[in-house]
Structure 1
Amino acid sequence: MKFDLHTHHLRCGHAEGTIEDYVQAAIKAGLQVIGISDHSPYFAHKDDQPQPGIAMARSEFPRYVEEVLRLKQQYSGQIEILLGVESDFFPDQVDAYKEAYARYPFDYIIGSVHQTRGVSIFNRNRWKKLSDAEQIVEKKHYYDLIAQSARSGMFQVLGHIDAMKGYYPAFSAIKADEAVDEALRTIGECGIAIEINTSGKTKDVGGWYPSDAMLERALHFGVQVTFGSDAHVPARVGDEWELVRSRLKEIGFTQWVFYRSKQPVAVPL
């Protein structure tokens, strides 16, 4: 069974195409399951859409859900459509996000740390003036947030857990192994999945999130895995699915999962 849990569309302001475009692309790519998971609004912000090029407006969120549920019915029998969302994780705003999500029948929620200390994880300039010791502190802080997101109980999947390397490949070499292991241990204990996200190929790092080394550690800690293209154009739906499947088998995984009604569905590799 071929699936992809991480896709976006035009509402977020930095992706192309309608939700239906992604559904049709999934059918063309031979997927049996497609998850729609656009970026969450900033639910705790006073403005309806404080960053139009990053996330949808809060007022648009009900229409997003309605459209996915309508398409789920429309394409029943052709492909299974799952209602998801890629949620930001801000430790001090958890209640606002939980309240917003509780109103809707999500199949899964992807939790992604997109900012640390108010700065985008993709901002390469954040590293320029930091000493080696300060870089270690920042990497530890990032993985502490990921561990907190796992413990929050909000999520079924954690998104792109080493994406800080996207525009700063040297991130992978920053020595913070204990913090990474503690995050993976926590994720395993919480029984949620991490995604293998193939969008890293579109960034400077040129590879998947997370690294093979991290996937090996994830297996050691009993972490479940899933697949997400993180497609921002329909043509990337399911991108490199077979390559990821083969690599996971080489590492030693025997299955991966997707989520229906927030319950894991195991798919043998």
Structure 2
Amino acid sequence: MPANYHTHTFRCHHAVGEDREYVEAAIAAGYDVLGFADHVPWVYPDDYVSPTRMTAAETEDYFTSLTALKKEYAGDITIYIGFESEYLPELLPAQDRLLADYPVDYMILGQHFVTPEPYGHYTGFDGDLEGLVAYTDSVIEGMETGRYIYTAHPDLYRYRGEGTEKQFRRICRYMKEKELPVEINILGIATGRHYPSSLFLNIAAEEGCSAIIGVDAHDPKVFERSGILLRGTEIAEKFGLPVVDYMPGLGRLKEAT
């Protein structure tokens, strides 16, 4: 298990475990790269505070804690500090101001909402074709900015009716064109969710995409479940998707090459 770029912390308020526990569990599981990508804090114009993501006030502690662990465990594992973030153009200027002084290594796109909370529809709940089209548009538009190294659970949107294949193909064709992998999400496998989607992965294979295995860890104990972790690789092999181990643009890949 070379790398995982999709790891959360207790600061998102729906994950458990201390930061150190994630690092030590990843080392024990054989990872040599661990990327923390907790749910990014947003600054909402009406002072809304999301119950399912890091708050702005927790940002300092996030970087202080992980930077210390990054140094402490440098001989055992390479640690990156990033975020999983939605693409919400109207809120990006405030997000940029909030994060300007922090050493953000990377972001992954997790399009849980197409419009801001609390009024936006969570894309993992039942939706419709119109919503899927909007989701697809926003994923492609977001990735076009260059802010994100890949898209987490690109098959998150919960609609599998008429028109789904066309939208999934749009996403996969775009990822192939940009040489970006599609994530096979371990949390989805472990909890029996509607993703990873066989339809999506079939289309990804037809379009010639590669895959990346994202643990989407919300509990350090997931790293002890070797069978679940291996399922991601097995699924990639089943669909004929070559697995990307390290993402470009990050220090580990540069060192390896």
Q: For the superposition of Structure 1 and Structure 2, which TM-score range results when normalised by the shorter chain?
A: 0.7 to 0.9
1:159 corresponds in structure 2 to 152
Could you list the per-position Cα deviations for residues 80-120 of structure 1 after superposition, in whole angstroms to 9, with x for gaps in the alignment? 21222111221323333345455443332111111135121
1:67 corresponds in structure 2 to 65
Residues 78, 252 of structure 2: 8 Å contact kept: no
Which one of the candidate residues 211, 214, 223 is aligned to 2:197? 211
**2-structure distance, mates of 1:101, 1:61:** 8
Residues 7, 215 of structure 2: 8 Å contact kept: yes
Q: Aligned pair count?
A: 248
**1-structure distance, mates of 2:84, 2:59:** 12
Could you list the per-position Cα deviations for residues 44-70 of structure 1 after superposition, in whole angstroms to 9, with x for gaps in the alignment? 4453x712x211111221321222121
Could you list the per-position Cα deviations for residues 132-186 of structure 1 after superposition, in whole angstroms to 9, with x for gaps in the alignment? xxx2222212211111121121100111112233xxxxx2344332222122222
TM, length-normalised to structure 2: 0.84
Q: Does 1:187 align with 2:166?
A: no
Structure 2: runs of 5 or more not aligned: none
TM, length-normalised to structure 1: 0.80
Deviation, 1:218, is 2.2
**2-structure distance, mates of 1:45, 1:238:** 41
- The 1:88–1:251 alpha-carbon spacing in structure 2 relative to 1, beyond 3 Å, is same
| Letter aligned with residue 34 of structure 1 | L
| Letter aligned with residue 13 of structure 2 | G
**1-structure distance, mates of 2:198, 2:241:** 12
Residues 211, 236 of structure 2: 8 Å contact kept: no
- Tell me the secondary structure at the aligned position of residue 54 of structure 2: coil
Deviation, 1:264, is 8.3
- The 1:116–1:88 alpha-carbon spacing in structure 2 relative to 1, beyond 3 Å, is closer
Aligned-residue CA RMSD in angstroms? 2.6
Deviation, 1:261, is 4.8
1:249 corresponds in structure 2 to 237
Residues 165, 199 of structure 2: 8 Å contact kept: no
- The 1:153–1:260 alpha-carbon spacing in structure 2 relative to 1, beyond 3 Å, is closer
Moved over 4 A (4+): 98-102
**2-structure distance, mates of 1:106, 1:257:** 21
- The 1:255–1:121 alpha-carbon spacing in structure 2 relative to 1, beyond 3 Å, is closer
2:164 corresponds in structure 1 to 176
- The 1:265–1:39 alpha-carbon spacing in structure 2 relative to 1, beyond 3 Å, is same
**2-structure distance, mates of 1:189, 1:43:** 33
Deviation, 1:217, is 2.2
Residues 229, 238 of structure 1: 8 Å contact kept: no
- The 1:104–1:213 alpha-carbon spacing in structure 2 relative to 1, beyond 3 Å, is same
1:237 corresponds in structure 2 to 223
2:143 corresponds in structure 1 to 150
Structure 1 vs Structure 2: percent identity of aligned residues?
Answer: 27
**1-structure distance, mates of 2:75, 2:42:** 35
**1-structure distance, mates of 2:125, 2:52:** 14
Deviation, 1:20, is 0.9
**1-structure distance, mates of 2:103, 2:248:** 10
**2-structure distance, mates of 1:261, 1:238:** 29
2:2 corresponds in structure 1 to 2
Deviation, 1:228, is 1.3
Residues 9, 17 of structure 2: 8 Å contact kept: yes
**1-structure distance, mates of 2:247, 2:46:** 32
| Letter aligned with residue 52 of structure 2 | I
Residues 163, 209 of structure 1: 8 Å contact kept: yes
| Letter aligned with residue 237 of structure 1 | F
- The 1:263–1:238 alpha-carbon spacing in structure 2 relative to 1, beyond 3 Å, is farther
Deviation, 1:262, is 3.6
| Letter aligned with residue 103 of structure 2 | P
2:75 corresponds in structure 1 to 77
